[in-house]
Structure 1
Amino acid sequence: MIDPLVSLAFSIQANRGVYALLLGSGVSRSAQIPTGWEIVLDLIRKLAKLEREDCEPDPAAWYKAKFGKDPDYSELLDTIAKSPAERNQLLKNYFEPDEVERQEGKKLPTAAHKAIARMVARGYIRVVVTTNFDHLLEKALAEEGIEPTVISTADSVKGALPLVHTNCTIIKVNGDYLDTRIRNTREELAIYEEDINHLLDRVFDEFGLIVSGWSGEWDTALRSALERCKNHRFTTYWTDIRPPDGNAIRLIQLRKGEFIQIQSADAFFDELSEKVFILEEYNSPHPLSVKALVAQVKKYLVEERYEIRLHDLMNQEVERVYKELSDREKFPVDGFYGDDFGDEIRRQVRLYESITEPLLAMIITGCRWGKESHSHLWVNCLNRIANPPEERKRNSALHKLQMYPALLLLYGGGMASIAAGKYSTFASLLTVPKIRPTHVEECPIVLALHPWSVMDRPEIQRLLPVLERSLIPLSNHLNDILRDPLREILPQDANYQECFDRFEYLSALVHADLRNEYDDDDDEIWAPVGLFGYRSRLSQRDTSIMNRIQLEFENSTQTYIDSGDGVPTKRVDSTWPPLRAGLFSGSAERLILIKRKFDELVAEVSRSRL
Structure 2
Amino acid sequence: MASDDATGPVAIPAGGLIEPPMAMALNVHSSPGVYALLLGAGISIASGVKTGWGVVQDIVGKVAAVRDPDSPDARAEAIADPEKWWEANTNEPLGYSALLAAAAPKPASRQAMLAEYFEPEEGQDDSKGPTAAHRAIAQLVKRGSIRVILTTNFDRLTERALQEVGISPQVVSRPEQIKGMKPLAHSQATVIKLHGDYADLEQRNTVDELETYPDELQQLLERVLDEYGLIVCGWSADWDQALVRTVEGTRSRRYPMFWSQYGRFSDAAQNLTTQHKAVVIDGKNADELFTDLARRIEALDHMTTAPITRDVAVVQLKRALPDPVRRIELFDLVDHATTQIIARSTRENRPVSAAPSDRADIYGSSIRGYRADSDTLLHLLANGVFHDDGTHETLWLRSVERLTRIRSTFTSGSFDGALEALRHYPALLAAWTMGVTAVIARREEFVATIMAQPTWTTLWNRTEAQPPAVYLNPTSVLQGDLSSVMPPPEGKKWIFPQSRFLRKETREPLQVIEPDDTAYQAACTRFEFLASMIAMDHPTERRRFPWVGEFLSDEHWEYDTSIANTIKSELTSDWPLLRAGAFGGDIERAQAAHERLTQWRAQNPQFRW
Whether TM-score is above 0.5 comes out as yes
Q: Which residue of 2 aligns with 1:146?
A: 168
**Partner Cα distance (1:445, 1:291) in 2:** 29
Cα distance in structure 2, aligned partners of 1:33 and 1:467: 76
Counterpart CA distance in 2 for 1:257 and 1:491 is: 60
Q: Is the 8 A contact 1:298 1:366 kept in 2?
A: no
- CA RMSD for the aligned pairs? 6.0
Residue in 2 aligned with 1:477?
A: 501
CA drift of 1:405 comes to: 0.9
How much does 1:462 deviate?
1.4
Q: CA deviation at 1:437?
A: 7.0
CA–CA distance in structure 2, aligned partners of residues 206 and 385 of structure 1: 49
Call closer, same or farther: CA 1:103–1:235 in 2, change over 3 Å.
Answer: closer
Query: How far has the Cα of 1:407 moved from its partner?
Result: 1.7
Opposite residue 228 of structure 2, the aligned amino acid is E
TM-score (normalised: structure 1): 0.66
Q: List aligned pairs for 1:523-542, cutoff 5 A.
A: 529-532=548-551, 536=553, 541=555
Change in 2 beyond 3 A, CA 1:396/1:18? farther
- Structure 1: how far apart are the matches of 2:307 and 2:270? 43
- Out of 425, 436, 439, which is 1:415 matched to? 436
Query: Contact between 1:353 and 1:405, CA under 8 Å: does it hold in 2?
Result: yes
Letter in 2 for 1:161: K
Which has the greater radius of gyration? 1
The whole-number CA distance in structure 2 between the counterparts of 1:136 and 1:514 is: 56
Task: Determine helix, strand or coil for the equivalent of 1:171.
Answer: strand
- How far 1:206 moved relative to its partner? 2.5
2:6 aligns with none
Indicate the percent of aligned positions where both proteins have the same amino acid: 19
User: 1:567 is matched with which residue?
Assistant: none
Quick one: structure 1 residues 88 and 310, their matched pair in 2 at CA, closer, same or farther if it must change by over 3 Å? same
Residue pair 1:360, 1:412 contacting (<8 A) in 2 also: yes
Instruction: Give the AA of the match of 1:233.
Output: Y
The residue correspondences of 1:165-564 to structure 2 (distance < 5 A) are: 165-173=186-194, 189=211, 193=215, 196-197=218-219, 200-215=222-237, 218-219=240-241, 222-225=244-247, 228-231=250-253, 233=255, 236-240=258-262, 242-253=263-274, 254-261=276-283, 289-293=313-317, 296=320, 320=339, 323-324=342-343, 326-334=345-353, 344-361=362-379, 364=382, 369=388, 371=390, 378=397, 381-382=400-401, 385=404, 387-391=407-411, 394-430=415-451, 433-436=455-458, 442=464, 443-458=466-481, 461-464=482-485, 471=494, 474-487=498-511, 489-508=513-532, 511=535, 517-518=541-542, 529-532=548-551, 536=553, 541=555, 548-553=562-567, 555-556=569-570
Supply the distance in 1 between the matched residues of 2:463 and 2:101 (Cα, whole angstroms).
83
Judge conservation of contact 2:314–2:383 (CA < 8 Å) in 1. no
Q: For 1:215-262, what per-residue CA distance to the aligned partner results, in whole angstroms no more than 9, with x for missing partners?
A: 26652564444554244536613234x232423224334343232435
Which blocks of at least 5 consecutive residues in structure 1 are unaligned? 50-54, 521-525, 558-572
In structure 2, C-alpha distance between the alignment counterparts of 1:358 and 1:593, rounded to whole Å: 37
Distance 1:431 1:33 in 2: 52
Change (3 A) 1:332 1:226: farther
Go from structure 1 to structure 2 and tell me whether the alpha carbon gap of 1:544 and 1:115 turns closer, same or farther (over 3 Å shift): farther
Which structure shows the bigger proportion of residues in helix conformation? 1
Shift of 1:37: 13
Match for residue 565 of structure 1? none
Assess if the C-alpha contact under 8 Å between 2:138 and 2:162 holds in 1.
no
Q: Deviations over 1:25-49 (max 9, x none)?
A: 556786445449979xx8xx99xx9
Shift of the 325–9 alpha-carbon distance from structure 1 to 2, 3 Å rule, reads same
What is the distance in 2 between the residues matched to 1:170 and 1:379? 39
Structure 2 Cα separation of the partners of residues 33 and 553 of structure 1: 65
CA distance in 1, matches of 2:238, 2:539: 76
TM (normalized to structure 2)? 0.66
Equivalent residue letter for 2:264:
P
1:405-442 superposed Cα distances (whole Å, 9 cap, x missing partner):
12212312322343345555434443563342779985
Contact 2:335 2:399 in 1 (8 A): no
Q: Deviations over 1:261-292 (max 9, x none)?
A: 356x6x66896799699989999999561443
- Equivalent AA in structure 2 for residue 320 of structure 1: T
Q: Which residue of structure 2 aligns with residue 162 of structure 1?
A: 183
Unmatched 5+ stretches in structure 2: 1-15, 68-77
Give the number of equivalent residue pairs: 548
